[in-house]
Amino acid sequence: MLSSVPRARHRYLDVDGVRVFYRESVPAREDAPVLLLLHGFPSASHQFRRLIDALGTQYRLIAPDYPGFGYTEAPAGFRYSFDRLADITEGFVQQLGLDRFVMYVFDFGAPVGFRLAERHPEWIAGLITQNGNAYEDGLSDAARGLLTLTPEAPGAEESVRGFLTLDGTRMQYETGVADTELISPDGWTLDQHFLDLPGRKEAQLALFFDYHTNIESYPRWQAWLRDHTPPTLITWGRNDPFFTEPGARAYLRDLPDAELHLPDTGHFALDTHLPEIAPLIAGFLDRAWK
């Protein structure tokens, strides 16, 4: 019985002066399909713990923490931008020797992941997007208001800092969820622990003020999707208060063969719908890897 329990490694890897923490499952097969899990805000690789437990014996799941998130340690003076998060993630992938994987993008993971895809289209065997937005259709008014702020705008820093509180973090987990008792408080509590570490709120401020570069990149990423047509699975919490259902459906304009699922939940869909989503991911990995 114990042999069926998935094993997971928890390691650090030095990438360009950053000590990157990551989780990696140890599947039974050495040639198992690889899934790179790119987390969102305000979370880290811990958001994928249950998914790793569910699929880790069959597939190689790898989930790094970005600089400014989770257990990853960035040096003083690190410049926080989405380009730099992608630089570190790119170096991480290269150091692991990965040359082909299915990419799972969620929230902030979408701008990190699409930068990787632009730089290395040959790496991408398939795409899973779970509330990972790449279309203006998917920006709610609340998201647009926060993600287009500039440092010089009156009250901008106060608006972002107000979002980095325990109430703001918990709200992201619970909004749009029919039964909030399905969500463990461990998620938002651990997220807030990391947000409250020295320097972390300043890192998030820099990333929020850099987010406009992602919105400006949407047309380029959409062109990449049309040009490369990766096999794509869309599993999107349809009640997400930030990245809304139209953002999920917009992918079908450029990827008409994509598989679309819209569970009746909020931003952190895996927290409430893992039993439904995990089999979809497993089936997709098997098809895309071939």
List, in sequence order, the alpha helices (H) in the chain: 49-55, 82-96, 109-119, 141-147, 156-163, 166-174, 186-195, 200-210, 212-228, 245-254, 269-289
Q: What average pLDDT does this structure show over 91-99? A: 97
Instruction: Flag whether pLDDT at 255 surpasses 50.
Output: yes
Q: Which domain holds residue 52?
A: 2-289
With 0-12 CB in 10 A as exposed, 13-18 as middle and 19+ as buried, what is 226?
exposed
| pLDDT the model gives residue 6 | 60
Q: Residue 20 — φ and ψ, nearest 5°? A: -85, 125
Of 39, 46, 267, 273, the catalytic one is: 267
Is 238:265 a contact under the CB 8 Å cutoff? yes
Provide the CATH number for the domain around residue 15.
Answer: 3.40.50.1820
pLDDT tens digits for 168-183?
999 999 999 999 999 9
| pLDDT the model gives residue 214 | 98
In angstroms, rounded to a whole number, what is the distance separating the alpha carbons of residues 149 and 147? 6
For a pLDDT cut of 90, what percent of the chain falls above it?
96
pLDDT tens digits for 42-84?
999 999 999 999 999 999 999 999 999 999 999 999 999 999 9
Average pLDDT, the chain: 96
Is 205:215 a contact under the CB 8 Å cutoff? no
Q: What average pLDDT does this structure show over 242-255? A: 98
Domain count, the chain: 1
Phi-psi map region of 22: left, alpha, beta (phi>0 left; psi -120 to 50 alpha): beta
Active-site residue, 228 included:
no
| pLDDT the model gives residue 7 | 78
